[in-house]
Structure 1
Amino acid sequence: MPLDETDFEILSLLAADARRPYSDIGDVVDLSGPAVSQRVTRLQESGVIDGFTVSLNRDRLRAGVGVLVTVTDPEDVDALGDRLAGADGVEGVFTSVDGTVRFTGRTAADDVRSWVHALVGEESFDVELLDSVTWEPSVAGGGFAVACAECANTVDSEGESIRLDGETYHFCCSSCRARFEERYDRLSE
């Protein structure tokens, strides 16, 4: 669904404070409260807005120690991601295109390694203790998507990436990647 400047401004205001009244948002974007409400409903129905959340200061809650865990080359990325997404203490799960899975979470300070081991099993992992975490949602650049280096279609989670001579290229499908690599090799000769 195409978004205009007003949609992005509304999203930015909601990202900063999801409880901000629609009438206040309307004052900023020069719309009525009901018009803002209609736009927010449209954004929710289209899936642009997933939901509204509360951001907790875990340090104030004294909710254990924060960790950043990196699991490189897991056997089943999707299964690991699903397992982590529903696990107690896991706050965010990030999967990169190269199959690396990173997650943040909190657990008792004296039990970090066994907590992580229980979550990831026999997978190889690294743990970093976090001093602080700042999460600032932003819609900057929200109007842009990664384009396939071969055909310019939008690259989604099913896409592929390769690194050639220090540059990363993204593709919408394996066919585009193969055509690009073939042409790249031919031109490199």
Structure 2
Amino acid sequence: MQPSLERHLELAGTGDVRAFATVFDLTSTRVLGTILRVLLDRAQAEEVAQDVFVEAWRSAGRFDPARGSATSWLLRIAHARAVDRVRATQAQRDRGLLPAARDSAGSEVSVQEQVERSGDAARVREALAQLSDVQREAIVLACFGGMTQTEIAEHQGVPLDTVQAHLRDGMRRLRRASAAPLPGRDPGALSA
């Protein structure tokens, strides 16, 4: 019988490089996916993933399997590091250290595109605010935290089918809310 991922992480905490290599092999795809969902930029996500595994190597000795699975522990680190990167990038922009927003081709984003993007973000925030607390938490954990439905059920202390219902109903409400125009905005005003 193969040692569990948790056991490999515990061994890595004692300096076992092979055990840590196994941890990396078994989790790197999910860690990168979690980060990529937050950053949306593969190059940055790969940099952050590297930081996550450096941090995991250094702090593996503090991993406590009684507090959760090794995968959840790594994904929490990954999500926190990705959010930190977003915040750091935003802080640089706020201080004027980065050039104006650019699209993937490298040309400046038009004012209309910036307004549409900020409108989309506002619509998402408004839609999330309309969800129940449990629906919002489930969606945030799944979409931004990279947690599986099973991990969310463990985290919330509810049955798996309850989490599935929260996600399904919450996503339906989000779709309906995102289709509605923002209050005080004329949806055709930008296209004129």
If the TM-score is normalised by the length of the shorter chain, which range does it land in? under 0.3
Higher strand share: 1
Higher-RCO chain (CA-CA 8 Å, sequence separation at least 6): 2
TM-score, with length taken from structure 1: 0.23
TM score, norm. by length of structure 2: 0.22
Q: Of Structure 1 and Structure 2, which has the larger fraction of its residues in helix? A: 2
- Which of 1 and 2 has greater Rg? 1
